[in-house]
Amino acid sequence: MVKKSVKMKTNEKLNIDFCGLQFNSPLVLLSGCVGFGEEYTRISGFSNRDVGAICLKGTTLEPRLGNSPHRISETYLGMLNAIGLQNPGSQVVVDEYLPNLDFSETRFIANLSGTSIEEYEKITRIFDDSPIDAMEINISCPNVKKGGLEFGNDPIMSAKVVEACRKATKKPLITKLSPNQTDIAENARCCIEAGTDGFAVINTITGMAIDIEKRKPVIANNQGGLSGPAIKPIALLKVHQVYQVAKHHKIPIIGQGGITKFQDVIEFIIAGSTAVGIGTALFYQPLVCSKLNQELTEYLEKNNISNVLDLVGTLELNI
Catalytic positions, please? Answer: 141
Reference 33, options 228, 230, 207; nearest CA is 228
Rounded to 5°, angle at Cα 101 from 98 and 107: 95
Q: Give the whole-angstrom CA distance, residue 173 versus residue 210.
A: 37
Q: Give the whole-angstrom CA distance, residue 301 versus residue 295.
A: 10
- CA distances to 67, 116, 200, 280 from 91, rounded to whole Å, are 21, 18, 24, 28
E strands, the chain, in order: 16-18, 21-23, 27-29, 53-59, 72-75, 78-81, 107-112, 134-138, 173-177, 198-201, 205-207, 210-211, 216-217, 224-227, 253-256, 275-278
Radius of gyration of the chain (CA): 18
Q: Give the torsion through C-alpha atoms of 89, 2, 276, 187, to 10 deg.
A: 50
Q: Give the whole-angstrom CA distance, residue 158 versus residue 195.
A: 11
| β-pairing verdict for 210-211 and 216-217 | antiparallel
User: In the chain, how long is the greatest CA-to-CA distance?
Assistant: 57
